[in-house]
Amino acid sequence: MSAAGWFVVLVAVFGANVPFLNQRLFAVVPFGAARKNAWIRIGELILLYAGVGLLGFMLEARAGNRFEQGWQFYAITFCLFVVFAFPGFTFQYLVKRR
């Protein structure tokens, strides 16, 4: 079970940074404009959070011990997902490019 937990954490770190590291939607679909704006990146972040959550839910259910979660769990994990996105945000918006 520990390996599945670490796998979800690694997928979450990768998924949180995907919106900031390229100009494609979900790193696959070419985006029409030259650059994605912040609202599109936030939307991608929310959808990727839901995808990682579904992956974690699936792995937990497959292990056989699924637990009910309240709103506090989702609020905390979303905040953690946003913290995981900090390196990509820093690269996209705070690093000076020449």
pLDDT of residue 1: 57
Q: Tens of pLDDT along 68-82?
A: 889 999 999 999 999
Is the entire prediction scored with pTM above 0.85? yes
Could you list the residue range(s) of the whole structural domain that residue 70 is in? 2-94
**SS3 state of residue 79:** helix
Q: What's the total number of domains in the chain?
A: 1
Q: Tens of pLDDT along 29-43?
A: 887 777 888 899 999
